A and B are shown apart, each in its own frame.
Chain A
Amino acid sequence: MDFLTLIQVLDSTVRLATPLLLACLAGLYSERAGIFDIGLEGKMLMAAFFSAAIAATTGNVWLGLLAGIASSLVLAGLHGVASITFRGNQLISGVAINFLAAGLTVLIAQDWFKQGGRTPSLLTSGRFGPITFPFAEEVKDVPIFGPIYSELLSGHSILVYLAFLAVPATWWVLYRSRFGLRLRAVGENPAAVDTAGVSVIGLRYAAVAICGVLCGIAGAYLATALQAGFVKDMTAGRGFIALAALIFAKWRPWQAMGACLLFGLLQAVALRFQNIEIGPIVVPVQVMDALPYILTVVILAGFVGKAIPPKAGGEPYVKER
């Protein structure tokens, strides 16, 4: 593999890791506050559709992004009502949200655009274009540094940079702000937070809402930056890979970025090479597809350091005893 191929694979790693990273951070906020969310997939899918639909009809990608976030927030609200207000089973709620999104997106798309459950292809104005860093063209031919700067770092859409900036931001919010302290506390011991006079319900709704916004951006990125328009089931399990990455990272932001980049790399390699030959052994493409899930099971099994979820995760909080 020559240097340029390596750069291209890493470049596509960054692109493919971005939706995973956004969804992973979304899940991080929710699960750190004690709300399990296996509905990341559904929220992303809904946002992907509405962002593409609005971007296609208005020609404005920013309106599309807003619509995507709003639709994802609606589903997040539903998850909040079911799991916080009515103290329902958070896992079942997540399953329902995934199906709701899978069905509604195609249903609405078919009724709206009549193109077999997809949106029209987006033109340039309806998509997030690449951002070229200063001097990217000039330094292109400098060996080593040139391709890294102009191919790998420059030329992504604004949402990619946003996703990677969200990592230190999340770290700061979680470990350096009062809100973050309370958020983590509510996921570990909500009764203590309640005793301190802070609203458990308010905090959990805030976490679910942040999760909705981030899933919305992830979905919009899929439909308006990575691809040009919505197609049926376009999230293709990314919500679950993000969930896997979250466990892999043991619910921590920097590690989440590492896990998402690793899983993005696996996707990029699988996309480019199909079967990989390492000496006499041929690794079939299906192994690359399954590897994120296998790695997560290994981590969950506790063979490589134990993944301990937030203690109060999945438990509805009952105030009166």
Chain B
Amino acid sequence: MQIKHIQSVFKKDALELMRDRRTWFVNIVLPVLLYPVLALVGIQVFQITQPGPEDLPQIGIINAPAEFKELLEFGGEQEDREVEDNKGRKTIIKPSPVLRIKELTPSEASAFQRYLDSEEKSNEESLLALQKIDCSSAIVCHQDADMLNNWRLELVANNAHPDYLLALRYIRQAAVDYQKILLKQRLADSGLSADFTKPAALITNNLASTSESVTTHFLAAFLPVILVLMVIVGTFHPAPDLIAGERERGTLETLLSWPSDRQSIFIGKLLVVIVATIVTVLLNLGSLSITAGIISNQLPSGGNNRMMALSELVNIGPRAIVFSIIALFPITLLIATLSLAVAGLAKSYKEAQNYLSPMVILFTMPSMIVLLPHIKPNMLLDLIPLIGPLVALKACLQGADMAVMHLFISTAASFGIAAMVVSWATTLLNKEQFLFPNIKNISLKQFKQMRQHSPLHGGLEAKLMFAAVLGTFLISSAIFANVNTVVMVSAPLIVGIAIPCLLFVKIGGYDPRQALYFNKPNPMNWAYTILLIPLLILVSGTLGNLQAPYMPENLPEEEMMRNLFNDLTSLGGIPLLVVCVAVVPGICEELLCRGVLLSGFNKSLGPRYAILMSAFLFAAMHMSPYRFVPQFVLGIFLAVVVLRTRSIWPAMVLHFAHNGLLVLGATYVESDPDLQRKLQEAAGGDTVSSTLIYGSIIAFVICASMAAAICHLLKPPPIEAGSEANPA
């Protein structure tokens, strides 16, 4: 990577982008003008659609008491409000009517009286009557002639009328308020206090300001999602233009013929996308804040409740601004890197935009997770791209403990993921198909023709195989779920994983020595394999200790595993337990991960990516976030062993021994409460001690280094003629 070349690419692309009218429109003019224009249109529409007195829903009343009539007119109890404008002038606002009330004449009311009195209800007559008086509803009021003199307020309504729902809301409120008034009178008549009917009352004392409350409940949830949308808008023009657009304009070949490494070129272009996006987002935020500020200044404070909430909402403090800007970097970095890399696969600007369209959903949908009320940052979420920074930003805005630390960790994780994408994109730029896409644009027939020539499948087939095996594994798990525990554990692995892998190699006509590494290992490798067993167990164990502080207590999957081990032990003792949880997974998972996947990725991507990809998929297929890291590290070591020895057998033995010894150890500790207690004491009791953490880090580094050194000693077997045409 050369800084000078990154600067050159950045400078030239930024200049070209600035001279493109589309950039000005999408990244500058649109964000600046969008919100004022929307606000202007919104205010106009709001004012136009405000109902006049003649547009209010009309209802008919029959025999209604005067107090109830007044409540109906104003939608419940309303008091005069004192409102202060931005110049400090105070005005009294009288409540305005919400319904038009029509007192019905006896002849108009007769249809409703008949409807209520008759046994056989005739809807049509009442509907016609409502239509005639132009009302959605009519309220017929009766006072019982008994001792209590209770009022019955019967509503006859055309519930298909467009005004019905709005009218019903005000009628309900008026009825509830009228009931309260009558109750108060009745209590007073009986010499009782108005609180007689409220033996317990909730009195809320809010300590935080409305602004703080709005920030926690509204802004903290929505601002991260709004940021993601703004970032997407910011990347949408530069990302397709800088690689796909350059290819379309015929300048990419020239650029790639100059003496620069592909990484510098990609990073230079990425920086342009990032800067353009950040400028767009800041303009968006600035325009949004200014527009909202202007609107809020126009609104009287302390007026209508909804308006007050809006004026408080726009009060984005410096804290929110600082955190939003910090979070903007990882979000932009991730979206810009992925967008540029994906858009780079297209042959033209338009095609690149088509590729980016589904990515809008891909980025927006996960970001919605921050809308969940109880979501809080944790170490696992921090590592998830996009979601980590968004959840951390939400926590920062809510002022949660450790939120800033989570924001920085998730930012670091986003940098790591972006670096991986840059690395992938660089590999892509180095491929000749990238510059000349037509030369490998092959038909299915040609694909078969190519495959027949090759004794080994490629990365694409490996990925498809992983997806297929995941499907067969889940289906067979469902089929064997209700059989006994031995079948439930082993059959999905054999039927869902091992058999499809063997069939894939057989039907595909691939060489099992290359596709599954079915080679006899060098005899010395067995000795090194035995040395690796305790080291890998220690590596997994120390990683487990390091994860312990972040693991919730009483994990359901731990309980499930414990039950499973007990069932298997009761059915056939320790040997059956070892066969089911160590031998069968050791064979089946190795056939898939270190066989089909590793060999396919090795052919397409080279050993480094093959190791990482196969380990990632190996960890992912266990479907447990808490086992992911140890399984990923184990997967890396097993893949290295296979590639160094060119044989799958040592990895199978390692996998079997690793699982077997860990399970035996856990079962032994479980069976001896005294030992369990002693171990817990040694580890620092219920809380995880810092000694254990630092000890585990040191032990992990030592064991992993020793394991890596032993892996380095592993040697491939001597190549016999025809044994391996394409050695790893």
A and B held together in a complex: no
Which residues of A are interface residues toward B (Cβ below 8 A)? none
